[in-house]
A and B are shown apart, each in its own frame.
Chain A
Amino acid sequence: MKAALVTGAGAAAVLAYPLLVRGPYPQHLMILVLLNALLGTAWNILGGFAGQISLGQAIFFGAGAYTSTLLAQHAALSPWLGMLAGAGVAAVLALAVGYPFFRLSGHYFAIATIALGEIAAIVVTNWDFAGGAVGLFLPVEGTGLAAMKFEGKLGYHYLLCGLLALAVALSVWLRGARAGYYWRAIREDEPAARSAGVPATRYKQLAFAVASALTAMAGTFYAQYVLFIDPPSVLPLSLSIQICLVTVLGGAGTIVGPLLGAAVLVPLSAATSVLLGGSGRSLDLVVYGALIMLIAAFEPSGLIGFARRLRARVQ
């Protein structure tokens, strides 16, 4: 009952936000929060639920952004279909890559995904059809729901709310379904899960495919929002790490964690860069790095652990 109340109040606040706060910059910040929450929620299915730490999810963000953009340029395909195509490409890619990669465990898997991410960035940078290092501008022929391009931020805000709601609902459903139990067993002890009859590779692939398809949808959204994509903006290692960081900061393996992480991390990094970043000497990043260290050292289960302790003290 209380949880439903909090969820409802949170959702209402997010939906009302752009109607109450009219400035373009605060609205843009909220869109960044929601985008990070979406990416974190997607990563959480793979990293939080199934315990497979991918540091290469930017590949799939890029796959979504490039697939929909190239289809729009060369086949005049609607971005809605482009988004689905991007999700499909990402899911197929994840299944194909996952099959050999899931033979690797722990750090080997993480480093292999970093290597794959670097390969993807190098390939796209040297691939003229995909714009190479120059990048791609999105064709703009009018705005509106069908074109998935909007005047102002309102349309983007609600589109993103819809995508996030989809990702959260999918997470809640999967966590309670057979897959959720299998993932938990794999995360805690894979050999034990296998000997109990869990088809571990297949379920790890499922987590990878779902997470990557959602990440690709976020990538298509990003392309429609910014209208320009190039390898440094949609395929960098730093994006892969940030996706993971949002989740870990909030609390990996929980539904609220990625949302909480995005709600804290995005305003925090925006505030430090506004307050301290003007010098061009990256004092903001000094603070950011120090905070990441502090949280990892003192709250390894994420902000959610802190919130839980706080609540226990109040009660």
Chain B
Amino acid sequence: MAQALVSGLLQGLVFALIAAGLTLIFGVMEIVNFAHGEFLMLSMYLSYFFQAALGWDPLAALPLNAALLFALGLLVYYALIRRVLRAPMLAQIFATFGLSVFLQSAAQFLWKPDFRTLGATLVSGRRLALGGVFVSGPQLAAAAGAVLTTLALWWMLARTEIGRALLATAEDRGAAALMGIDPDRMFALAWGIGAACVGVAGALLSTFYYVFPQVGSQFALIAFVAVALGGFGSVVGAFVGGIAIGVVESLAGVFVAPAVKNLFVFGIYLAVVLVRPRGLFGKQ
């Protein structure tokens, strides 16, 4: 029980970070990034190739993952998203959905559908025992990294000039523009930061997950649910939603059956939104 709780919590912290990136993009411009999982997948491949080709440890190269994914986020915004800003919601869904199919199949084309694993990293093979509960090094490192990144994101949003500009744009685009905040730059920044969040998450996950072209899909689905559970646009909501889902998934996997753990994840999600249609922390 304690074991399941702890590993669910650790897993949930990583879900929370992925969901935070997604909810930031949504909060600022009301677009759901269906290619979020593919950003994660690309970051995991980056870690793989950094280690395989250059011998860099994924945790050491983590800032580089974040920077490259930030650049990818900007590229996607300027090349694709800017064109659908005023388009109907359906066109927006399909722009990012098309991107997801494109990135996933491009990865499969370039790097084959093989499952790859990284070699030994700084944290592999280590284990921590806390009163009968075992925690593996990679999992602990991933959770710690995810918490630090989510906190940094939260601090940036709440305490810095640029973070407040982002929140102001999310609150009221027009009014923010009148205060001299360029919404276009804020949207680009949201995509950059949102992608950088999964850049970090990808590097953290690469130390203990298989790397393959479809790895992002399952995480993305969980992240959508975490975001909707917490309330679209709320970073705190995504954090709580991610942790809740990690714990539910882990408990259901241990006490019911691994095959049906997602049944509980989706079921609890539906139960919550049906009571609170805009999620736990969304504006009701």
Contact = CB atoms under 8 A, between A and B. Distances in A.
Contacts of A112: 228, 269-270, 273
Interface string A58-92: 00000000000000000000000000000000000
A126 B260 contact: yes
A286 B98 CA distance: 9
Given A118-B262, A288-B101, A289-B101, 8 more contacts: A53-B93, A115-B225, A119-B267, A252-B88, A284-B105, A288-B105, A292-B97, A295-B98
B277 A118 contact: no
B162 interface: no
A290 B98 CA distance: 6
Given A100-B274, A112-B270, A289-B101, A245 B221 contact: no
Interface of A: 47, 53, 100-101, 103-108, 110-112, 114-116, 118-119, 122-123, 125-126, 241, 244-245, 248, 252, 281-286, 288-298, 300-301
Contacts of B104: 285, 289
The main secondary structure of chain A at its interface with chain B is helix
Nearest to B224: A111
Nearest to A299: B91
B270 A115 contact: yes
B99 to A, nearest CB: 6
The main secondary structure of chain B at its interface with chain A is helix
Contacts of A295: 94, 98
A248 B91 contact: yes
A123 B263 CA distance: 8
Given A248-B94, A296-B87, A300-B87, A105 B277 contact: yes
Interface string B79-112: 0100110011111111101111111111011001
B98 A108 contact: no
Contacts of B278: 108
Interface residues of B, number: 47
A281 B109 contact: yes
A297 B267 contact: no
Nearest to A293: B98
B109 A297 contact: no
A108 B277 contact: yes
A173 B82 CA distance: 38
Nearest to B112: A281
B281 to A, nearest CB: 13
B99 A293 contact: yes
A252 B90 contact: yes
Contacts of A281: 108-109, 112-113
5 closest Cβ pairs, A-B complex = A292-B98, A289-B102, A289-B101, A285-B105, A300-B91
Contacts of B102: 285-286, 289-290, 292-293
B283 to A, nearest CB: 12
A245 B260 contact: no
A103 B30 CA distance: 19
Interface in B192-243: 221, 224-225, 228, 232
16 contacts: A105-B277, A107-B26, A108-B277, A110-B32, A115-B266, A116-B270, A122-B266, A286-B109, A288-B105, A289-B98, A289-B99, A289-B104, A292-B98, A292-B101, A295-B98, A297-B80
Contacts of A125: 259
A252 B263 CA distance: 32
